[in-house]
Every structure is written in structure tokens, then in C-alpha cells.
A and B are shown apart, each in its own frame.
Chain A
Amino acid sequence: MSTPQRKSLSEDLIGSLLFLAFSAGYAYSATLIPAYPGDEYEPFTAQTLPLALSTMGVVLSLLLLVGTLKTRNAQNSEQALQQRATCMTDVKPDYDWKTVLQLIALMLFYAVGLKWLGFIIATTVFLAVGYWVLGERRKKILFGASLPFVLLFWFALTQLLDIYLAPGQLFHLLG
């Protein structure tokens, strides 16, 4: 079995288990949906579709799980010897998790910043730090493509489109 096939199988295994767990959790939550008196005689209630969907989710993820395990076993028994003989050069994908985690943290900060610092400061910081995180070091870009752009955007929103952007709550606290 080649490396991509093996990778695909483990991906399917993880995926099916995740969906199975999610469907089970969803099914449990579906049973907690409140029902009105007499709902048991109704052909369709608020629970009907969620319960049907959770059943489908469980069945489909089990099908994927069984299919994956079956393929895996068949291929393992056939090629186990071959694999031992051949030196498998697993090429690890070169993922940049560090930058992605920084961007996600930045987005979360942006949500907090919008509430406490207001649109202009939060967005300027978001853009400038975003450029920096992605490797931009030119000051002209870091500052030139953040604050002026944000001011222009803010002007268009508040003055041209008449959209009210509340100032940050921090400024309310400070008086």
C-alpha cells in the first residue's frame, strides 16, 4: 500500500469516528428538545428531523468506519511483507501551524478588541499584526496599509452609508 492510500485510510478512520461521536452527541441532545403535551400523537414535532438526522449520521459514519477497516485489513494482510521490505519514505506535509494559530488568536483578539477598543483601533491592530505575522516587515506597508485604509473604510461606513459603529466599551468605562 502506498503512503497516500494509507494516509487516506487513517483520515477516513478519524473522520468516521469523529462523525460517529458527533452524531451520538447530537442524538442525545435531540432527546432533550422539550415537547408539548400531545406531541406524541403528532406526526411531526421539533424532535422528528433531529432524531432522523442523528440516525442517518450514525449509520453513515458506521458505514464509512466499516468500509475503511475492511479496506485496511485487506491491504494490510496483502502487503505487510512488502512494506517491511521497502523503506517507506513518509513525506511529512510542511504545514505552517504556528502562523495559523497566530492568525486564529488574532481573529479572536479582534472580536474582543471590537467590543472594548472600538472599530478603528481594533481593525488597525488586526491588520498591522496580520501583515507582521505573515512576514511583512516593511514599515511602509505595516502602517500605510492599516491605519489609512481603516480610516477610509470607517469614513465610508459611518459617513457615506450612515452605519453607526459604537465606540469601544473601554472608553465608556474611562468616561
Chain B
Amino acid sequence: MLDGIMTGISTAVLPINLFMVFIGCFVGTFIGMLPGLGPVSAIALMIPITYGLDPASGIILMAGVYYGAIFGGSTSSILINAPGCSSTVVTAFDGYPMAQKGQAGKALALAAYASFTGGTISAIFLLVAAPMLASVSLSFQSADYFALMVLGLTAVAAFSGKGQVLKAMLMTVLGLMISTIGTDRSSGVERFTFGNIDLMDGISFLLLAMATFALAEVVMAVLKRDHLKEEENQTDTSAIGSMKVTAEEVKEVAPTALRSSVLGFIVGVLPGAGATIAAFLAYGMERNLASAKEKLKFGTGSLRGLVAPESANNAASSGSFVPLLTLGIPGSGTTAIMLGALIAYGIQPGPRMLVDNPDVFWSVIISMYIGNIVLLILNLPLIPYISKLLMVPRTVLVPMILFFAITGVYLVSFNTFDIYMMVFFCMAAIGLRMLNFPMAPLLLGFVLGGLMEDNLRRALIISDGSLSFLWERPITAVIMTLALMVLLAPVLRNFFPKSRSKSTSVTSAEAN
């Protein structure tokens, strides 16, 4: 492990990679700040740029964008009460009231410290947990992988919030259906191409991600007239007040940050849970632990109410890399898009990654720690200036984002058919969003579709067509049982009114 850490450090501290971390954090913070655009869109917009880089630099850049976007989302939550992404919705509960009281600077500083704590603690946990899990999963076979993918997909559906489970499952199936378009990798047979040459290679994940997230989110904002409302609500971000945090305040929030970071990491590791649920759970936990007097402060500018979700969502972001790097199973929309990018680089995340590409594996983990330091350095002194970017008129930003999304896809294939496809998927995504269908399961199903089919095919051929492979090996049986339990959890929840009432508070729209 020490060799690996040294390899990671030597790769991560290369000037180009340090530059990538810096750029990633900066761009991520900026895109994350734009209300409506979450980490998935931020990463999708950066993918075309990473194609020219080596895999380690590319994935480091995307990781930087990820936690930068989460922090950026907090900035807009605090300053204009418009969360950049679903995982920072909770930050606005206490962050925005603080800003209204003239304590925006303090709220931003606390958010930065909390994010740093969450990110750092989870990066250390990741350092220990990832190689352990990877060494265990080296013994996995096709059947186990298939079972793991089933678990990942069902977990995403199960964590989708009340009344959303069936819809999330339908979206997962839709994602899997879209992944079958094109030439079958095994038999060479064309499927669902309807004789169209442009569909023979299937649909690129970049196209789908850009259309369903970047394009659809921007167009949805226009549809809801958010671009006009935000300009009306724009506060004066030049006067954010002092960023100083007193020793008493640090003493008050330190235990909160530590508790929430641990909780956030654990939630992040669970497939499907993600940063949004981690933030809600940490906020709920902190509120339950608070004294009756302190409890009243929640929602009106409580420091603990701000620090808890901030630590948790950043810790969860790092935690979500555990299943991605060790098992090759993304647990959220964001890690799904990273999986797609890694596959495009020719790297298959999973247990073999530690053996075949140790430089990428370790440098990503080490870069997370560096990324947290960069975020702190970047955010504390620069936040008053970065927050001015919120003043850029949406009338300019919207066409620019549309342009970057379209060009990002076009410059990979140089095929205008891809733009028509993007528009089609964007319109479909808008329709589905309006019908309250979550988008993250679609992307997850799409990214895992090919891998799932390959593993299912291998497992079925080995077992001569019998489904007994699902329970023959103990590990497969355990994972399938877990998947079944996760799937049945929403049904069982109805029998326990207490847990049901809790679950209603965690109505996460997307497991980002």
C-alpha cells in the first residue's frame, strides 16, 4: 500500500496534475454556483477537454470539478438561496438566513472549513478502505459482478425518495434499453438501429449525459423562467461581510464537522445514496443531537445546521469513489459519468484497476486530498471575487452553456446527427423531468448496461443457461439477497410508520 501511495503522490504532484486539480476546482466551483447545473453537468461539460489528457490527469480534473461543483453549489445556496445542486439544498436552510443577517462571509468561510474537514477525513478513509475492498473483490466472477450491478441499480431506485421508487426503476430500465441500441458486441447483430448507419455504434454516453443533464437542466431553467427570477433576486455579493470565525465558533462546530464527515462517508459508499441523502441525514442527526434551545436556531442561521450538511456532502462525494474504484460500480449519476469517461480512456474501473493502472487509482485518491487543500486556498480568499460571477447575465450564460454542451459532443464525432440526437434526448428529458421522473438512474442504467449484459452472458454460458449462478456462490447469493432487501425496503417501510415519517424528509430528487 505504501508503494501505491508513493506512486499516487508522485503522479498527483506532477505540475500538470496540480494544474488540473486547480483548474478542476475553479471550474467546478463556477459551474456548481450556477443554479440548476449540478456536478453531473459540470463533469459532462469538461469531458471533451479531458480526451486530450492522459487518464490520470483527466480523472484528476474531473474529480476536482466534482468537489468544486459541490462547494460552488453551497456558495449560491448561501448567497442567493438558489442551490446549485440537490446536495446543497440543505446548506441553504441555515446558510441563507446567515447571509440575510449580514454574515455571508462567515457562512462561506464555515462552509469552506466544513467542506475541507469532510473531504479530508473521507480522503483518509478512502485511502484505507479502497485497497482493502479492491483486494477482496479480485476474487469476483461474472456472476458476482452481475449481482453487484443489480444491487447498484436497485439501490439507486430504492434511495430515490417517497413515491419515486417505481419511477426510478423505470428510468433504470429505460437507461438499460438505450444501452442496447447499436451493434451487439458479442454477436455483431444490429439492434434497434432501424437501418440507420449513425446508430450502429450505439449512443455515446457523453451525448446522453450532455443532453439529459447539461442541456435539459439549462432548458428547464428557461422553461421555468428561473433565469429571469435569479436576476431579480440577485443580492449584492460585493458586501459579504467578515470571513473571520472565532475560536468559540470553531469549538462549537468541530464535533459536528467530525460526526457529519464520518456519516457522510458511510452514506457515500452505499450505492445509490449519494451526497444529497448524506446532507439531509447529517442535518437531521445534528438537529436531533442539539439541545432544545439550540434546536430552535435550526433554520434561522445555526452554525451547526450549516456545517453538518457541508461536511457530509463533501465526505459523501469522496465516499462515492469507493464502489467506483474498487468494484467498477458507480453509485450515483456523477460517478456513472466518471465510469463512462474512464472506459473511454480504456481503463476499466474495478479490482483490476489497482493492479493494471495503479498510477491512476492512487493518484485519484491522493489528488482528492490535494483538491481539498486547493479548494480551501481557492475559496477563502477568492470567494468574494468568484461570487461576482453570479452577476454574469443568464441571457449570456444560457446560450454559452448550450454551445459548450453541443460543441463538446460534436467535436468528438464531427457528426451533426449527434446534435439532432441531443435535441431529441433533451426534449425527452424535459418531458420526463416534468413528469417527475429522476434522471440519475437513467444514466446509471445506460452506463452499466453494456457491462451488465457482458457479465450476464458469461455467467449464463458458464452455468449452461441455468439461473443457478445467482445463488451457487455464497458471495453472489449474499449480494443478490442484499439487492432483494434493498428493493423490498420501500415496501417494508410502509409497515413501520416511524421510519416512514423520517423518509419523507429525505425526498431527494436525484442521487447525485
Could you tell me the distance between the alpha carbons of A115 and B419 in the complex, rounded to whole angstroms? Answer: 11
Interface string of B237-269 (1 = CB under 8 A from A): 000000000000000000000000000000000
Does any Cβ of B come within 8 Å of A111's Cβ? yes
Nearest B residue to A71 via CB reads B163
Measured CB to CB, the closest approach of chain B to A70, in angstroms, equals: 13
- Judge whether B403 and A19 touch: CB under 8 Å: no
Nearest A residue to B171 via CB reads A19
Does any Cβ of A come within 8 Å of B176's Cβ? yes
Does any Cβ of A come within 8 Å of B410's Cβ? yes
Neighbouring A residues of B403 by C-beta, 8 Å: 123, 126-127, 130
Neighbouring A residues of B420 by C-beta, 8 Å: 108, 111
- Judge whether A61 and B163 touch: CB under 8 Å: no
Interface string of B401-445 (1 = CB under 8 A from A): 011001100110010100110110011001010111100000000
Whether A131 touches B399, Cβ cut-off 8 Å, given contacts A15-B437, A46-B186, A103-B219, is yes
Which 8 residue pairs are nearest across A and B when measured between Cβ atoms? Answer: A130-B399, A43-B465, A111-B419, A136-B395, A134-B395, A46-B184, A46-B189, A15-B435
Whether A114 touches B416, Cβ cut-off 8 Å, given contacts A19-B170, A134-B227, A157-B411, is yes
Residue of A36, A60, A126 with most partner-chain B CB within 10 A: A60
Residue of A19, A64, A67 with most partner-chain B CB within 10 A: A19
Measured CB to CB, the closest approach of chain A to B191, in angstroms, equals: 5
B contacts with A, residue count (CB < 8 A): 60
Could you tell me the distance between the alpha carbons of A57 and B396 in the complex, rounded to whole angstroms? Answer: 41
Measured CB to CB, the closest approach of chain A to B441, in angstroms, equals: 12
- Judge whether B416 and A53 touch: CB under 8 Å: no
Please provide the chain A residues from 122 to 154 with a CB less than 8 Å away from any CB of chain B in the complex. 123, 126-127, 130-131, 134-136, 141, 145
Does any Cβ of A come within 8 Å of B393's Cβ? yes
20 A-B pairs in the complex with CB atoms less than 8 angstroms apart: A15-B435, A26-B177, A33-B191, A43-B463, A45-B187, A46-B186, A49-B176, A49-B453, A50-B177, A57-B170, A60-B169, A96-B224, A103-B219, A107-B426, A108-B419, A108-B420, A111-B420, A114-B416, A115-B416, A123-B403
- Judge whether A107 and B163 touch: CB under 8 Å: no
Interface residues of A (CB under 8 A from B): 8, 11-12, 14-15, 18-19, 22-23, 26, 29-30, 33-36, 43-46, 48-50, 53-54, 56-57, 60-61, 63-64, 67, 93-97, 99-100, 103-104, 107-108, 110-112, 114-115, 123, 126-127, 130-131, 134-136, 141, 145, 157, 161, 163, 166
Whether A96 touches B225, Cβ cut-off 8 Å, given contacts A44-B457, A104-B423, is yes
- Judge whether A34 and B225 touch: CB under 8 Å: no
- Judge whether B224 and A134 touch: CB under 8 Å: no
Whether A64 touches B225, Cβ cut-off 8 Å, given contacts A50-B191, A114-B410, A131-B395, is no
**CB < 8 Å: which of A15, A54, A93, A130 contacts B402?**
A130
Does any Cβ of A come within 8 Å of B382's Cβ? no
- Judge whether A141 and B189 touch: CB under 8 Å: no
Does any Cβ of A come within 8 Å of B15's Cβ? no
Neighbouring A residues of B402 by C-beta, 8 Å: 103, 107, 130
Whether A64 touches B219, Cβ cut-off 8 Å, given contacts A46-B189, A145-B396, is no
Neighbouring B residues of A108 by C-beta, 8 Å: 419-420, 423
- Judge whether B167 and A107 touch: CB under 8 Å: no
- Judge whether B456 and A49 touch: CB under 8 Å: yes
Neighbouring B residues of A131 by C-beta, 8 Å: 395-396, 399
Interface string of B442-465 (1 = CB under 8 A from A): 000000000001001100110111
Could you tell me the distance between the alpha carbons of A15 and B167 in the complex, rounded to whole angstroms? Answer: 8
**CB < 8 Å: which of A15, A36, A99, A163 contacts B187?**
A36
Nearest B residue to A145 via CB reads B396
Could you tell me the distance between the alpha carbons of A95 and B44 in the complex, rounded to whole angstroms? Answer: 26
Interface string of B359-374 (1 = CB under 8 A from A): 0000000000000000
Does any Cβ of A come within 8 Å of B398's Cβ? yes
Give me 11 other A-B pairs in contact (C-beta within 8 A), A93-B224, A157-B411 excluded. Answer: A15-B167, A19-B174, A30-B191, A34-B189, A36-B189, A50-B192, A99-B223, A107-B419, A123-B407, A136-B396, A166-B414
- Judge whether A127 and B400 touch: CB under 8 Å: yes
Whether A110 touches B406, Cβ cut-off 8 Å, given contacts A60-B173, A127-B399, is yes
Neighbouring A residues of B52 by C-beta, 8 Å: 161
Does any Cβ of A come within 8 Å of B180's Cβ? yes
